[in-house]
Amino acid sequence: MSSPVTVFVAKKIITMNPSNPKATAVAVRDGRILGVGELDDLAVWGPYEIDDTFADKVIIPGFVEAHSHTIVGGFWKFPYVGYFDRTAPDGTFWKGCKSVDEVIQRLKEEEAKLTDPDEPLIAWGLDPIYFPEGRVWAEDLDRVSTTRPVYVHHISGHIVSVNSALMRLEGISPETQTPGVVKDDKGQPVGELQGMPAIMLTRTVFQRLWAEFNSDEAKWAFGHLARNAGVTTATELGASAFTPEAIASWQRVVNDPDFPARLAIAYSTRFGGPSDPEEMAAQAVSLIDESSDKLRMGTLAKIWVDGSIQGFTARLRWPHYIDGRNGLWYVVPERFKQEFLAYHKAGLTVHVHANGDEATDLFLDTLEEILIEAPRPDHRHTAQHNQLASADQFRRMTQLGASANMFINHIYYWGDQHITTTVGPERAARMNALATAQREGTQFSVHSDEMVTPLGGLMLMWCAVNRVTASGRVLGPEERISVYDALKAVTIDAAYQLKMDHEVGTIECGKWADFAVLEADPFEIDPMEIKDIPIWGTVLGGKHFPAA
């Protein structure tokens, strides 16, 4: 006996399927789409029940976030000290800290809540680039406590500020030779740790953070963020453990019928695992046996090449940063090729963190060598962030069959700082050059990199269409794209990079019934209002998930 058919009716359905772009009804059975059109068109599927919950709303494909980090759910266990206002998964509103003094005051308030004198104070969201001082070091955090360890994770994810007590606890001293431990002219550590080797020196604190990152609670919190933002397919792009316990946690949470999203988990050994590239690739591929319709493992791998532009740790082509410095290589080229080649030969799609254009060069040079050595069609290897890529690099991507997933939210959150502090006006104007990528025929998507900026397809679209900074300046108007192309970049084009475009990303027969439900049509309002469209919630596999 056939399962029952439900027909969802809406004021308008934007399918993102060019052969059937608009409709008012979609028929669903067993979580998948049977047909899309007008109500009369769907009678061929036999008896059905009408679901008119969305009769006055607009349905679009559920947003696909191809670069996010579920670990943000773990960070929300701790106080937020970021510059911009932000809302936690439980609905708590955190006002942004607009100065170093405000950061210190919030940390003092949170420190006063701790009863165990040995418990470290952990906070997150900091970005000193917004402050005149340009830094938050141990001398600043010592104002919070000289005895309790204080650990503040920067919003980029690539830098941590710590106080003197934490450095004493972990033995971080002038003799410490780990790359990324910033020191003053006298060789004294200043309390800034750049890159994971340096951050991992904070063993006591990081172990606690790591446990929170991999907890069931963190995954559920991320799922709630996704639901509220209209995201039905998201990623943990490389910041996960792959122990039996961690895999069981993924399965327990994501496969729960009440979890509101599909997740694709990229393999990485950044936080532990085998060191031999062949063993890494074999373990990654073996994870496909742990997958389900909602949980995708064993298809993606992640490698970090450099850091962040706003943290001054990305690798840039000459003339580098405005002040002449350059960032960090997170992996030596020879090792990068070994890992990339092993994953490539194993059939994985490799997502390479390459923020600066010099890092993008390394990605492209290495990919070209790999494809000569081991040709492979439809690999879909993707440059992640890829923020300063130039026209010549996009041309190479197109020729090599590579994709670009660009961090378009940077235009709003850091555009002003890129003009004055990091790369200057000309390069800032072509950051995340979506129109150039389009002209050069490069397959691309855009992302939030949640935790770095909040999850949300509407904000991504708004940034891509308007390119307006936090101060209201239009940055690089020639790189703006249309509303249609922006929506495409956060649905089917993002799904393509996850090799899930046959399952999600458009509303059409055979795909999962995954929808974002909006209160307004993004094509019929002022483009500057796109980010403010209210989101009713989502539908995943035909099941309602109202926002909360």
Together in a domain, 346 and 382:
yes
Q: Same domain for 416 and 430?
A: yes
Of 157, 181, 210, the last residue of a domain is: 210
Output b/e per residue, 102-139; b: 16+ Cβ within 10 A: ebbebbeebbeeeeeeeebbbbbbbbbbbbeeeebbbe
| Cβ contacts of 440 within 8 Å, gap of 6 or more | 391, 394, 395, 397, 398
114 and 192 in a single domain? The answer is: yes
**Residue pair 68/450 in contact by the 8 Å Cβ criterion:** yes
Which residue shows structure tokens 């067993």? 30
Under 8 Å CB-to-CB from 55, ≥6 apart: which residues? 9, 10, 11
* The two three-digit tokens of residue 463, written as one number: 């940034």
The answer to whether the beta carbons of residues 71 and 218 sit under 8 Å apart is yes
Q: Are residues 247 and 327 in the same domain?
A: yes
Give the single-character DSSP code of 533. -
233 and 125 in one domain? no
Residues paired with 279 in a beta bridge = none
Same domain assignment for residues 206 and 243: no
Token pair for 8? 């969802």
Strand-pair category, 93-94 with 49-51: unpaired
Residue in this structure with the two tokens 């003799």, named with its chain if needed? 175
Same domain, 154 and 251: no
- Side chain identity at residue 248, one-letter code: A
Q: Domain check: are 165 and 272 in the same one?
A: no
List, for residues 174-223, the tens digit of each pLDDT value. 999 999 999 999 999 999 999 999 999 999 999 999 999 999 999 999 99
Looking at 164, 187, 210, the residue that finishes a domain is 210
Residue ending a domain, among 482, 505, 528, is: 505
CB contact at 8 A, 547 and 261: no
pLDDT attached to residue 2: 74
Contact between residue 160 and residue 189 where contact means Cβ atoms under 8 Å apart: no
Specify if 20 maps to a domain. Answer: no
If residue 24 lies in a helix (H) or strand (E), which one and from where to where? strand 22-29
Which residues are CB-contacts of 251 (< 8 A; sequence separation ≥ 6)?
Answer: 290, 292, 295
Number of domains in the chain: 2
- Measured N-to-C along each axis, helices 357-373 and 333-345 cross at an angle, to the nearest 10 degrees, of 50
CA dist list (Å): 120 to 75, 127, 128, 259? 14, 20, 21, 32
CB 457 within 8 A of CB 68: no
54 within a domain of the structure (yes/no): no
**Residue 42 within a domain:** no
CB contact set of 82 (below 8 Å; sequence gap of 6+): 94, 96, 97, 124, 125, 126, 127, 155
pLDDT of residue 1: 55
Could you tell me if residue 527 is inside a domain? no
Any domain includes 30: no
Residue pLDDT, tens place only, 436-452: 999 999 999 999 999 99
Residue 123: strand pairing partners:
152
Q: Are residues 482 and 335 in the same domain?
A: yes
Residue 4 in domain: no
Mark whether 406 and 280 lie in a shared domain.
yes
> Mean pLDDT, consecutive 10-residue segments, the chain of 548 residues?
90 98 98 97 96 98 98 97 96 96 98 95 97 96 98 97 98 97 97 96 94 96 98 96 95 98 97 95 97 98 97 97 97 97 98 98 98 98 98 98 98 98 98 98 98 98 98 98 98 98 98 98 98 98 97
Bridge partners for 162 per DSSP? 151
Does the pTM of the predicted model rise above 0.95?
yes
What's the domain range around 149? 72-210
84 in any annotated domain = yes
